[in-house]
Structure 1
Amino acid sequence: MDTPVAYIEGIGGFLLDVLGVWAFDMVNAYGQAVTIDACIIDGCTDAFRVGVDFLERHRATMDFDRSEVRYEDHGQRVIISFRTTIEGNSTSRAAVRLASATNLRMRAVQPVEVAISAPDGEEGVFLPTVNNGVVLLAAAVTKVTNGKALIPAINSYGERIRLPSKRELGVWIPLKQDMELLQMHGELETKRVQKWLAELGDVDTPLDDEHDVDIGTEEPTSSLS
């Protein structure tokens, strides 16, 4: 295949030779087939470059907030995730979407598989940013395997619910190497907190101004424990 151009302009105005064109088919994280004609650039062998012509032909949108390219193909929404870096070689956050259509059992907690644009073994924090109605999500630390990860989801509804593929759930924030994850040992369990308060002193004698203390309830017999 003939190259569309002889060279491209790199960062800083440097001209890079185009050696050839590599046509290939790939499957994205959502199981969709994508065909790409990528230019082989001299000195750039670790990644392929998608030109403006690809975006124009597919009328694609490049979303840097979500780190993804989106376009419609025969009525189907196609999503290609990519990674960006900021100062200090740290990776910016990316959108987290359901990897495939998922059925959630009624009133149950179950793991769901999501697609994340990250290398294998990378640890990060999932933060829910989208209101999914009766489906409740919580922040979770998880690890990426083959571009996917598991996060917990709660169906608070009394019937089964089906979530569609590519449903946006939140964002992925990679953990930096200098971050330390603290392991939970149950110190904040109710019984342990009550025992700790009892060891601090008298927990039965009312305060002198206890009637002025606002603990979020108007019940006269309520107390903090």
Structure 2
Amino acid sequence: MGAGIRVLLVDDHPMIRSGLRAMLETDPAISVVGEAGDGDAAVVEARRLRPDVALVDVRMPVRDGIDATRRITAEGLAAVVVLTTFDLDEYVFGAIRAGAAGFLLKSTDARTLLEAVHRVAAGEGMLSPAVTRRVLEAVASRAPAPDAPPAVTAARASASPAFDELTPRERDVLACLAEGLGNQAIADRLVITETTAKSHVSRVLMKLGCSSRLQAAVVARDAGFAG
């Protein structure tokens, strides 16, 4: 997992930031280096602090979390985990399009929060199971999803011929991605090293034209790689 993970907290409610800080600081490998109460401040602080991970709320004044995420990821300032109450699907779809690496419900427990920070800092994705189910169900539907990300739609449209380019092992990896498994879990499932799993994941994303693990999970589910 590594050590010294620097985190920026972004939420317009001081009490929520305080609670997140308390949970994160139980892990000696994580340090909260800054806080921001709106999207504009989040971008400014991300530029100043260059954290490893930014935990970003969706609904905030001045600039919302989706736009802040888009700016932070576009500039390569930090990996972003979006926090949501999941009132509206389009928030999560917007976060996918904006380049978020993870999605968590605000009601998540400390263990899951810490795992998300570690996994995202290590270059993996982290999805709340509840969020994963809702997103996959929505985008796998033949009906248009609300605010469906163009990248996901394009990936689905072009995925069929790309599947033919996958090796048998890469198909196994894709099935694991469809279940939301991380690199170590994929390695354990397929009895390979984590480094090899990470390499396979990168090749799968490239061949399918997907920019994230979630997009790959979407096209995999749509193609019947997982139930």
Q: Please, what TM-score do these two structures have when normalized by structure 1?
A: 0.30
Larger helix proportion of the pair: 2
Q: Of the two, which has the highest radius of gyration?
A: 1
Q: Please, what TM-score do these two structures have when normalized by structure 2?
A: 0.30
Larger strand proportion of the pair: 1
